[in-house]
């Protein structure tokens, strides 16, 4: 049985995010009115409701705020990779995102510094995170 891994649902608003990811670039929207960073991609700033959101290079750095070890995958295609770790990373720029973590369970702790690590899944790059400065 060969089940292909599901890819993200890409919308016109999130298309630039995924295009940058495929170039191994981490770009987020930044509100030009209140200067807050925005993630996930949206048409309007969730803070001031301004619509002037510009794609800008983000650091790719953050801190781990919570995590979970997945033993039963939400999609059958991910099951062969289980157990794997997912977590919430609070980015340096402010927003948080849910991501796969390339970190062993015993090494995880609250506020662990992490950085982006682009992983190819079926030829499509996804933004995973790893412990900052550690070679994986």
Q: Output the DSSP codes for the chain.
A: --PPPPPP---TTTHHHHHHHHTT--EEEEETTT--EE-S--SS-TTT----EEEEE---EEEEEEEEEESS-SSGGGGGG-SEEEEEEEETTS-EEEEEE-S-GGG--TT-EEEEEEEEETTEEEEEEEETT---
Q: If binding is defined by CB under 5 A, does position 116 make contact with Zn ion? A: no
- Least Å distance, CB 127 to Zn ion, is 23
Contact residue for Zn ion among 50, 61, 70, 121 (CB under 5 A): 50
Nearer to Zn ion, 50 or 94 (CB): 50
Per the CB < 8 A criterion, the answer to whether 78 and 68 are in contact is no
How many chain residues interact with Zn ion (CB under 5 A)?
7
Q: In the complex with Zn ion, which residue's Cβ is closer, 36 or 63?
A: 36
Question: Residue 126, interface with Zn ion (CB under 5 A)?
Answer: no
Span from 28-36, 101-109, 116-124, 128-136 in contact with Zn ion (CB under 5 A): 28-36
Considering only 3, 34, 57, 82, the residue that binds Zn ion (CB under 5 A) is 34
CB of 3 to Zn ion, least distance (A): 41
- Segment lying near Zn ion (by CB under 5 A), choices 9-17, 40-48, 67-75, 125-133: 40-48
Is 52 one of the binding residues for Zn ion (CB under 5 A)?
no
DSSP string, 37-53: EE-S--SS-TTT----E
């Amino acid at each position: 049985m060969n089940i292909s891994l599901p890819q993200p649902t890409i919308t016109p608003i999130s298309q630039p995010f995924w295009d940058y990811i495929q170039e191994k670039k981490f770009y987020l929207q930044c509100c030009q009115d209140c200067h807050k960073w925005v993630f996930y991609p949206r048409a309007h700033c969730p803070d001031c409701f301004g619509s002037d959101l510009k794609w800008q290079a983000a650091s790719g750095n953050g801190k781990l705020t919570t995590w979970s070890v997945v033993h039963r995958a939400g999609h059958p295609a991910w099951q062969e990779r289980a157990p794997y770790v997912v977590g919430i990373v609070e980015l340096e720029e402010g927003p948080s995102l849910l991501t796969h973590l390339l970190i062993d369970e015993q090494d995880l702790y609250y506020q662990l510094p992490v950085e982006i690590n682009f992983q190819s899944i079926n030829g499509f790059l996804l933004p995973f995170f790893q412990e900052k400065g550690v070679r994986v």
